[in-house]
Structure 1
Amino acid sequence: MVVPDLRKEFVEDYIWPAVLANATYEDRYLLGTSLARPLIAKAMIEVAVAENAHYVAHGATGKGNDQIRFELGAYALHPSIEVISPWRLPEFYKRFPGRNDLFKYAEEHGISLPVTPKTPWSMDANLMHISYESGVLEDPDHHAPSGLYQMTTDPEKAPDKAEVIVIEFKKGLPVKVTNESESVVKTEALDIFTYLNVVGGKHGVGRVDLVENRFIGMKSRGIYETPGGTILQAAHLDIEIFTMDREMRKIKRMLDFQFGDQVYKGFWFSPECEYTRSCIAKSQEHVEGVVTLKLYKGGVYILGRRSELSLYNEELVSMNVQGDYEPLDAGGFIKINALRLREYARLRQKLGQ
């Protein structure tokens, strides 16, 4: 058995690019499972090559996204590999039509399972998150059972005292996390992310219950908890807006959405996703500074930010001094922008609308 330790690689080569991209799918899902799949596929192919294996296999179902992610990754890295997918073999899924049949088989053969018929949901855990599907969760109106969550405290039971965290960014990436009240300083990527998972989990940060559109064509209900990722997304979004040019960031946000869609659909190793990642990384050259935030009862609250590279000009924006700005110029700016609106109004009047 080969069990490589991929935690550092996962953070630096997969989670960090997602942080740069403020990556979500459909504006809600933080891509924890989606980011892990290309790394698993890469490691699987590396072992297959080292062992001169001609086949790889996975246990993803025939209805979900993971079969696509594993196999697209495998074929992109090893075009001649053959993939075995038991859940798509008729002799398998006809023998075991559902999870109850597998529970019965496990019981008959003394196979221990992390889930039971009473708690039959499917869990997928990695360093970034845990996802929960299936079982009673297949009813989208069925509330999450008590005791479901494993990474995060119930926000109602979280500490009554807020915790203040300071995150420093360079080129868009977190390089230092400080919690002065606990005398904690983290500077290595894996340590930073692991610590944010712990402190975020303690305060109930990062839970989401959603219905998403699977790439394969059906809707599914999933519950996710992503404490560290949620904290970093809030902090990075704030420092990015603080330091990036407005029009540049509008283009960058389009790339963010493309990246999230590409990763969700399993195209991490595609030419378009490589291009998207390189453009996003280029946009982060001057995203540098410090964000101070508060964690409290499931929420992440930004308290302040500072940067030597910010485009924020306090004198220019101040209501107490005029600064290098001529208010009369705004009149012409408004008239030019109103020109098309006036013409549109004239057309409507002509049409009697």
Structure 2
Amino acid sequence: GNDQVRFEVGFGALAPDLDVIAPVRDYAWTREKAIEFAERNQIPINVTKKSPFSIDQNVWGRAVETGFLEDLWNAPTKDVYDYTEDPTLNFSAPDEVTVTFSEGVPVAIDGRKVTVLEAIVELNRRGGAQGVGRLDMVEDRLVGIKSREVYEAPGAMILIAAHKALEDVTLERELARYKSGVSDEWSNAVYDGLWFSPLKYALDAFIDNTQQHVSGDIRMVLHGGSIVVNGRRSEKSLYDFNLATYDEGDSFDQSYAKGFVNLHGLSSKIAAKRDLGL
């Protein structure tokens, strides 16, 4: 799977003089044999022959695979989940939360100062209670095999949604468009185990630069497994009410529009004339 690649590429980048010994892989052990070895040597693992799920988890999220989930038609059962409740459980009691960011980093929840870790822990709890953060997907492993994974990441998904909403009002248009592609490349590098690579370090530097104005508050409603942003405010906002309004007080000079439209569509218009033989 992917994890052996991530571990060993990381080891190679940090300590290239070390050799890696991996008995399960090198001796081609089956999952059953690996479980027997762990039980015989009292190695604590969360996989058993009775419950053969493979589970990776930390404060940022939880990933579950194998077992009956390997049949893509099988729906996840209640016992697959641990970080999240059934989205219908607290359906009558939605949770409204405000996350404050400073230069792209969460620093407060509902006005109370928190560390990044505290933010993730609290949003895991509150989002999980609303069934937020469940994903059931088939992904392409780095080694070329498709794999089904069931994820739970309530705090992560809430922070990502809030951060994106704040970037929408604080990043200049062309920078936001370009950063979207950089974010995808960053994600691919991390997924592929290149956390300590020159590419990832360079992408980090670009992304850090984009965050200097990403400060402000985002208000969201967590409800029925969904995250809905319903409020945004920032002293670094690029949103100008007087430019955006259609009502009295509009400060945008509408006479600019005619020339802009003509120039913006000129190349398409010329191509259309050619294609129509005009």
Q: TM-score range by the shorter chain?
A: over 0.9
Go from structure 1 to structure 2 and tell me whether the alpha carbon gap of 1:110 and 1:265 turns closer, same or farther (over 3 Å shift).
Answer: closer
Q: 1:143 aligns with which of 56, 75, 88?
A: 75
Q: 1:178 aligns with which of 106, 110, 116?
A: 110
Q: Counterpart of 2:271 in structure 1: which amino acid? A: Y
Q: Counterpart of 1:338 in structure 2: which amino acid? A: G
Residue 69 (str. 1) matches residue 6 (str. 2):
yes
| C-alpha distance after superposition, 1:256-297 (max 9, x if no partner) | 111001100011111111010110010010111101111111
Cα distance in 1, alignment partners of residues 185 and 250 from structure 2: 39
Go from structure 1 to structure 2 and tell me whether the alpha carbon gap of 1:275 and 1:112 turns closer, same or farther (over 3 Å shift).
Answer: closer
Partner of 1:152: 84
Residue 194 (str. 1) matches residue 121 (str. 2):
yes
Partner of 1:169: 101
SS at match of 1:334: helix
Contact 1:206 1:226 in 2 (8 A): yes
Q: 1:83 aligns with which of 20, 24, 30?
A: 20
Which residues in structure 2 correspond to 1:219-238 (within 5 Å)?
219-238=146-165
| C-alpha distance after superposition, 1:142-187 (max 9, x if no partner) | 11122210111011223521111111111011111127xxxxx342
> How many residues end up aligned between the 2 structures?
278
Which residues in structure 2 correspond to 1:238-277 (within 5 Å)?
238-277=165-204
* Structure 2, unaligned runs of 5 or more: none
Cα distance in 2, alignment partners of residues 313 and 168 from structure 1: 21
Residue 306 (str. 1) matches residue 233 (str. 2):
yes
Report the alpha carbon displacement of residue 102 of structure 1 after superposing the two structures with TM: 3.9
RMSD over aligned Cα, in angstroms? 1.9
Contact 1:315 1:321 in 2 (8 A): no
* Structure 1, unaligned runs of 5 or more: 1-63, 180-184
Contact 2:242 2:252 in 1 (8 A): no
Contact 1:152 1:203 in 2 (8 A): yes
Q: Percent identity?
A: 36
Q: Counterpart of 1:173 in structure 2: which amino acid? A: V
SS at match of 2:110: strand
Q: Counterpart of 2:228 in structure 1: which amino acid? A: Y
Could you tell me the TM-score, scaled by structure 2's length?
0.94
Report the alpha carbon displacement of residue 323 of structure 1 after superposing the two structures with TM: 3.1
Residue 286 (str. 1) matches residue 223 (str. 2):
no
Cα distance in 2, alignment partners of residues 110 and 78 from structure 1: 29
